[in-house]
Structure 1
Amino acid sequence: MHSMSLKLFVDFNDVKSRHTTPGQVSFGAGESPVRLSFGDQGRRSCRIIAHASERDGGAGAGAEAGGAESQSQQNKSSFFARSQTYALMKQQMELAAKSENFEEAARLRDSLKSFEEEEPVLRLRGLMREAIANEKFEDAARYRDQIKEIAPHYLLKCSSDATTLGIRVQVRSVYIEGRSQPLRGQYFFAYRIRITNNSNRPVQLLKRHWIITNANEKSEDVWGIGVIGEQPVILPNNSFEYSSACPLTTPSGRMEGDFEMKHIDKVGSKTFNVAVAPFALSTFGDATDSI
């Protein structure tokens, strides 16, 4: 059996910074504000080399079972490597554009386009959407199962929308190339949250709880008071929005959680939890519109 792996070779020149984005955006599970900082980059070159290797299959029922499990692990490992390559290429393109090396930026843009056309997960997702549009639901289910085997997180969108007791929570995440270092296994994802009070009673957000899961299914629970240092009061038919971010050690993952709130128009009101539906953190992103 043949398997294909991708290796990325990047030539770095000296980095001479210093571009800093205005304002602040909060990074990390603790939601403390940190300013985004991007470095300008000199010319970089990037080339992708594909290596094919041949492995012998096992014999017998036990070997077949072991082979299937091994193949599944190889698929996931291969997706991880491709995701890392994709993240590196996107970062290189951004830095080339910032340093006004437009020829290199255009070359990397074309490489990314080719990569996206050949990436199995992106191709399978396109086939799944086409099958659903043509009402070929058995085919769509088969494509979905193949995606789930390779990259279960990718079935989630980079956005979610949930309503609890009239409180609507919308989330949208995006990958931040400028704060990520794929070669070191560091990936940053910013997310924007809009909380809308569609009830007829004012509420106050007291606490937050996040469950952050990386591509290796390692989860972390994070609790905190309020959000970005505030415990906002949200009146009926009003919204509160904020931005924060989450670092991951893998190119994809997911987040979900809840906000603890209470009604403030009546003394002694009990607190209640408002769900934040799961959403993906992905270097590939998706086609979902921003909030």
Structure 2
Amino acid sequence: MVKKVTEGITISVETFYQPDYSNPVGSEYMFAYRITIENNNTFPIKLLRRHWYIIDSNGTHREVEGEGVVGVQPLLAPGESYQYVSGSNLRTEIGKMYGTYQMENQLNKKLFEVKIPEFQMVVPFKLN
């Protein structure tokens, strides 16, 4: 698990290889990741947008951005956390992702950016 704290928000990431949804012969590798967002501030926040950078070990770079996460824009009171699971496919056995969330302070409506820590996606048999 990797963690990063930005602007009082802790982002934790766990990754999982998905062999049942992968096809190594066809260079298709599916990974799931679980994100936990913790609001350590004294004010409520709302996650408005996400921006991901996805990099395969062959040098392919992709970007994904849009509103919210998994179809929602979660609102977190001080001390609350929100968790979701999503996924990404790679064309190689090893890759990485990182990115940012755009958050809004619900008291003063100011926008701020929270960094999503870089995390590795590695097919388990590559670790031997």
Structures share fold, TM-score greater than 0.5: yes
Aligned equivalents of 1:229 and 1:177: distance in 2? 25
Higher RCO (Cα < 8 Å, 6 or more apart): 2
Q: By how many angstroms is 1:224 displaced?
A: 1.0
The CA distance in 1 between the partners of 2:118 and 2:61, in whole Å, is 13
Task: Give the aligned partner of residue 278 of structure 1.
Answer: 118
Quote the offset at 1:218 in angstroms: 1.5
- On the 8 A contact 1:201/1:265 being kept in 2, the answer is yes
Q: Could you tell me how far apart the structure 2 residues matched to 1:286 and 1:237 are?
A: 38
Q: Does 1:205 pair with 2:47?
A: yes
What is the Cα-based RMSD across aligned positions, in Å?
1.6
Aligned equivalents of 1:234, 1:169: Cα separation in 2: 13
Asked whether 1:165 is paired with 2:4, we answer: no
1:178 match: secondary structure? helix
Distance in 2 (CA, whole Å) between partners of 1:223 and 1:249 is 20
Q: Which amino acid aligns with 2:120?
A: A
Q: Which runs of 4+ in 1 moved over 2 A?
A: 284-287
- Structure with greater proportional strand content: 2
1:263 corresponds, among 105, 109, 112, to 105
**What amino acid maps onto 1:270 in structure 2?**
K
Q: Could you tell me which residue of structure 2 aligns to residue 234 of structure 1?
A: 76
Give, in whole Å, the separation in 2 of the partners of 1:286 and 1:203.
39
Query: What is the rounded CA distance, in whole Å, between the counterparts of 2:121 and 2:70 in structure 1?
Result: 20
Count residues with an aligned counterpart.
Answer: 127
Distance change in 2, residues 1:161/1:285 (3 Å): farther
Residue identity over aligned pairs, in percent, reads: 35
The residue type equivalent to 1:211 in the other structure is: Y
8 Å Cα contact 1:175/1:285 also seen in 2? no
Q: TM-score, normalised by structure 1?
A: 0.42
- Is the Cα–Cα contact under 8 Å of residues 251 and 283 in structure 1 kept in the other structure? yes
Q: More helix per residue: 1 or 2?
A: 1
Unaligned runs of 5+ in 1: 1-158
Equivalent in 215, 227, 237 of residue 57 of structure 2: 215
Q: 5 Å matches for 1:68-83?
A: none
Q: Where does structure 2 lack aligned partners over 5 or more consecutive residues?
A: none
- Distance in 2 separating the partners of 1:201 and 1:186: 42
Displacement of 1:284 in angstroms is 2.2
Q: CA deviation at 1:286?
A: 9.9
CA contact (8 A) 2:93 2:126 kept: no
Q: Name which one, 1 or 2, has greater alpha-carbon Rg.
A: 1
